[in-house]
Amino acid sequence: MTRYIIRRLVSVIPTIIGVTFVIFMFQRLIPGDPAVAMLGEHATEENVERIREQFGLNRPAFLDRAALEEGDIKGFFDSQYFRYLSRLIKLDLGTSIHRRIPVAETLAIRFPATIELALASLLIAILVGIPVGIASAARRNSTLDSASMIGSLIGVSMPIFWLGIMLIMIFAVYLKWLPSGGRISANIAIEYQTHFILIDTLLAGDFPAFWDGLQHLILPAIALATIPMAIIARMTRSSMLDVLQEDYIRTAHAKGVMERYVLFKHALKNAFLPVITIIGLQAGILLAGAVLTETIFSWPGIGKWIYDAIIGRDYPIVQGGTLLIALLFIFINLIIDISYAFLDPRIHYD
Amino acid sequence: MAEITPNELGITTVFAVREHRSLWKDAWRRLQSNRTARLGLAIVLIFVLSAVLAHYFWEYDPKTDLDYSLKLKPPNLFTNEEVQSIHPFGTDKLGRDIFRRVVHGGWNSLRVGLVAVGISLLFGGLLGLLAGFYESMMVTPGERILLLGLIGLLLGLLSAWIAAQPIQAVLFGLLGAAAAYFDTFLSGRVWRVVFFGALGGVIGGGLGSLVNPATGYVCGALGLIIGSLLALPLGGKFFSDTVMRAMDVLLSFPSYLLAIAIVAFLGPGLEKGMIAIGVVGIPVYARLVRSAVLSVVQKEYILAAQSIGESHGRILFRGIFPNILSPVIVQSTMGLAGAILSAAALGFLGLGAIPPEPEWGAMLGDSYRFLASGAWWAVVFPGLAIMLCVLGFNLLGDGLRDALDPKLRI
């Protein structure tokens, strides 16, 4: 077990190096000169040159062959990529080109917004998806089963940007029940500590603000939850159906164990492993969907921020934000893999 | 009830009359008997037919389609004094008939789906096929020479680039081939690594120092590493691991972000979107095909094929390939749905089709600002088209899975 965990941990290293490489390539490949982007079209030649010097943009991408030709081995490795790596090791993500604010600083504010939205969505998806899946499996081929399975297929097929627009149209524009975007109403002041609005308002004991934040969260969370909800429901159903065919379930029925007991105590426990995997895999879908959801609901999270940065050629933001998301994703996968070893005693890894 | 003899029923000689049916025919029968699959097939057919017919027989030039007098008119099924023409889905901000654009948009969406899935399937499928195959098969000596030669050549290219000496790449390639050819030489001993490492160091260092001492040091160190690597008993597992690690890296990025970044690099446009979505899908197919291959390779008939000495190419394409088709077909159908959805998302963000080209996502992105003024139809119908089309492919894919592999259920 320990050996498996260590091996799995080591296997993450090449992936992370690969990720930094790809992220760095983004910057190199996306056309346009960042120095010009920073100064505007009408910048003088020497100003552009100065900025390029200051940000190391005049260095070669990976290795400096010219320096080597002059016999300078240290200069050979003094490239943009290695500078980027050495800054990363010092946890320095650079400064936004347009706004001149350290990327890490903005990340600390924006990232909680995305996580708050993603967690709320995941919660909705789990709270709805798992019971629906269990009910469908328990009453297989019933009307409830067909309805929820067709519903889940519609959920998987839903363009979430469209769903988001529809939700805004119905609940914000026509019914005026919920706000159409943003995280909190403009007239409410919050003392930020964690930048999770729900937590910050609770810590401050400011319940009206908490309520306001919750109202802002509902629509985007529902939009983002749709696809994971459908996937979790389908997975729960099929996993339960598999387990319900096992002999020990028949034995339990034969012994006269109560149906509810068989379902929740005997079956669910064993059906849970694939469901947990699928829940873990939703992380990727949630983070990907965040780009669209945040755009529609003007949610000040990381997805919209990166999207704007790609369009505006603000490379440090693109690099920092993408790196954080990719690392998070790798980390979640790692946790799922390792948790397998603990959750299922039948699996041996050595 | 009186006894009936076979003769009375006209059955004379043959008593088990069952026409030979292939796997595919069987699957088709199962598909037809599945109600939801039939629904999916019908939806898909409607979209495909309408898109194809519209493309060839209902001319539409998006560049000239413009009529401000019909700006944002609600859907009408009959003409009235205000609107002289029929617009079942209403008109958009430029007075264009939304129904017409939705139908023509279908052509673009299906095209994107097909091309994107084609790209993912071609590259991902091939990588997964080779990775899965060589992970579980012993490589032949010839393949090993090729593999190590290629590794040597690729890594040698780096050294060759540093010293600006193309000959280095060739030499490292030969070194790899040699290491594979003499694979029993000092095998399993540390001296083997030392020997080939030294050889690599001599190649890199010697040639590099012709440029200047510094280049010699760098290329020498690099050559040492390459040589040591080539000395290791690298085989199919190494190849498979390398490929799958690369796929892991691609999978670490949320799909839309990666697609957006690729489009930002290539520039907007429908064709660029196809490439972006296709590339993002590569690791999905690579993983799927690899795991399918791994399960097929263990079957007895593959063992039998190996034992009668069939070539690897033959085993791969005659033995394995037909038997992994089912999951690939299912995934491709679902993948089409996913690709259409991604294309619409890119279009919505303004990174897909370039206006005025009709594309569902772009139409949505164009019109959702007019929601506040009550023009719901400009948003509802393109969105419904996306959802229905994607739903059709998903239903069909679901049915195909049940039909092609009754044991599999997700």
User: What does the pLDDT look like over A33-42, one tens digit per residue?
Assistant: 767 766 777 7
Backbone dihedral angles phi then psi of residue B294, each to the nearest 5 degrees: -60, -35
Q: Are A307 and A317 in contact (CB under 8 A)?
A: no
The answer to whether residue B84 scores a pLDDT higher than 80 is no
Peptide bond before residue B356 is cis, with ω within 30 degrees of 0: yes
- Tell me the C-alpha distance between B42 and A277, whole Å: 34
The answer to whether residue A193 scores a pLDDT higher than 90 is no
Note whether A322 contacts B: Cβ–Cβ < 8 A: yes
Chain B: closest CA distance from residue A206 (Å):
32
CA trace torsion B74, B78, B80, B82 (10° rounding)? 30
Chain A: closest CA distance from residue B185 (Å):
30
- Tell me the C-alpha distance between B209 and A121, whole Å: 60
Query: Which 8-state DSSP code applies to residue B241?
Result: H
- Chain-chain contact of B261 with A30 (C-beta, under 8 angstroms): yes
- Chain-chain contact of B383 with A162 (C-beta, under 8 angstroms): yes
- Chain-chain contact of B218 with A76 (C-beta, under 8 angstroms): yes
- Chain-chain contact of A159 with B386 (C-beta, under 8 angstroms): yes
Q: Stretch B304-310: mean pLDDT, rounded?
A: 85
- Tell me the C-alpha distance between B271 and B353, whole Å: 8
Residues of A in contact with B341 (CB under 8 A): 157, 159
| R_g of chain A, CA atoms, integer Å | 25
- Tell me the C-alpha distance between B112 and B299, whole Å: 37
Query: In a 3-state reduction of DSSP, which class is residue B91?
Result: strand
Alpha-carbon distances of A96 from A35, A124, A326, rounded to whole Å: 12, 35, 19
Q: Are A287 and A237 in contact (CB under 8 A)?
A: no
Chain B: closest CA distance from residue A286 (Å):
9
Q: Pick from A136, A146, A162 the residue to mutate for testing the B interface (most B CBs within 10 Å).
A: A162
Percentage of chain A with pLDDT > 70?
Answer: 93
The answer to whether residue A346 scores a pLDDT higher than 70 is no
Among the listed ranges A294-308, A331-345, B14-28, which one has the minimum average pLDDT value?
B14-28
- Chain-chain contact of B252 with A156 (C-beta, under 8 angstroms): no
Query: pLDDT tier at A345 (50, 70, 90 boundaries)?
Result: low
- Chain-chain contact of A68 with B214 (C-beta, under 8 angstroms): yes
Q: B189 or B310: whose pLDDT is higher?
A: B310
Residues of B in contact with A150 (CB under 8 A): 36
- Tell me the C-alpha distance between B308 and B158, whole Å: 42
Query: pLDDT tier at B13 (50, 70, 90 boundaries)?
Result: low
Query: pLDDT tier at B409 (50, 70, 90 boundaries)?
Result: very low
**Tokens found for residue B18:** 């069952």
Q: Stretch B110-120: mean pLDDT, rounded?
A: 91
Highest mean pLDDT range out of A333-342, B14-23, B319-328, B350-359?
Answer: B319-328
Give residue-wise pLDDT tens across range B313-337: 888 888 888 888 888 888 888 889 9
Q: Stretch B26-49: mean pLDDT, rounded?
A: 84
pLDDT of residue A132: 92
Q: Whose structure tokens read 């409607």?
A: B46
Note whether A22 contacts B: Cβ–Cβ < 8 A: yes
Q: Is A56 left (phi over 0), alpha (psi -120 to 50) or beta?
A: left
Q: Pick from A20, A27, A68 the residue to mutate for testing the B interface (most B CBs within 10 Å).
A: A68
Q: Among partner residues B349, B376, B409, which is closest to A169 by beta-carbon distance? A: B376
Give residue-wise pLDDT tens across range A132-152: 998 898 888 888 888 888 888
Residues of A in contact with B256 (CB under 8 A): 288-289, 291-292
H helical segments located in chain A: 2-29, 34-39, 45-54, 65-69, 73-76, 80-89, 103-138, 143-156, 160-167, 197-204, 207-244, 247-255, 259-261, 268-296, 302-311, 315-343
Alpha-carbon distances of B264 from A55, B116, B335, rounded to whole Å: 22, 17, 23
Selection from A224, A208, A223, A220 nearest residue A183 by Cα: A220
Query: pLDDT tier at B70 (50, 70, 90 boundaries)?
Result: low
Selection from B81, B260, B47, B108 nearest residue A289 by Cα: B260
pLDDT of residue B314: 86
Q: Stretch B385-403: mean pLDDT, rounded?
A: 87
Chain A: closest CA distance from residue B124 (Å):
18
Q: Stretch B339-363: mean pLDDT, rounded?
A: 84
Alpha-carbon distances of B113 from B56, B101, B271, B395, rounded to whole Å: 19, 18, 11, 16
Alpha-carbon distances of B128 from A61, A302, B320, B330, rounded to whole Å: 31, 33, 12, 16
Which amino acid is present at B349?
Answer: L
- Chain-chain contact of B254 with A284 (C-beta, under 8 angstroms): yes
The answer to whether residue B29 scores a pLDDT higher than 90 is no
Q: B226 or B43: whose pLDDT is higher?
A: B43
Q: Whose structure tokens read 């921020």?
A: A305
Prediction ipTM score: 0.81
Chain A: closest CA distance from residue B123 (Å):
18
Count of beta carbons in the 10 Å neighbourhood of residue A31: 9
Q: Are B390 and B341 in contact (CB under 8 A)?
A: yes
**pLDDT, chain A, mean:** 81
Query: In a 3-state reduction of DSSP, which class is residue B108?
Result: helix
Specify which residues A95 forms β-bridges with.
A102
- Chain-chain contact of B215 with A150 (C-beta, under 8 angstroms): no
Give residue-wise pLDDT tens across range A40-83: 777 777 877 887 777 777 777 777 777 766 767 777 777 788 88
Query: pLDDT tier at B72 (50, 70, 90 boundaries)?
Result: low
H helical segments located in B267-376: 270-297, 300-307, 312-314, 325-348, 360-367
pLDDT of residue A90: 82
Give me the residues of A, 116-175, that contact B with CB < 8 A: 150, 153-154, 156-159, 161-162, 165-166, 168-169, 173
Alpha-carbon distances of B249 from A21, A22, A88, A323, B130, rounded to whole Å: 10, 8, 18, 11, 19
Query: Counting Cβ atoms within 10 Å, is residue B278 exposed (0-12), middle (13-18) or buried (19+)?
Result: buried
**Tokens found for residue B338:** 């996913």
The answer to whether residue B118 scores a pLDDT higher than 90 is yes
Give residue-wise pLDDT tens across range A292-330: 888 888 888 888 888 888 777 777 888 888 888 888 888
The answer to whether residue B410 scores a pLDDT higher than 50 is no
Selection from A181, A182, A287, A147 nearest residue A227 by Cα: A287
The answer to whether residue B172 scores a pLDDT higher than 60 is yes
Q: Among partner residues A21, A68, A168, which is closest to B162 by beta-carbon distance? A: A68
CA angle A23, A107, A51 (to 5 degrees): 60
Q: Whose structure tokens read 């092609």?
A: B404
Selection from A164, A225, A226 nearest residue B371 by Cα: A164
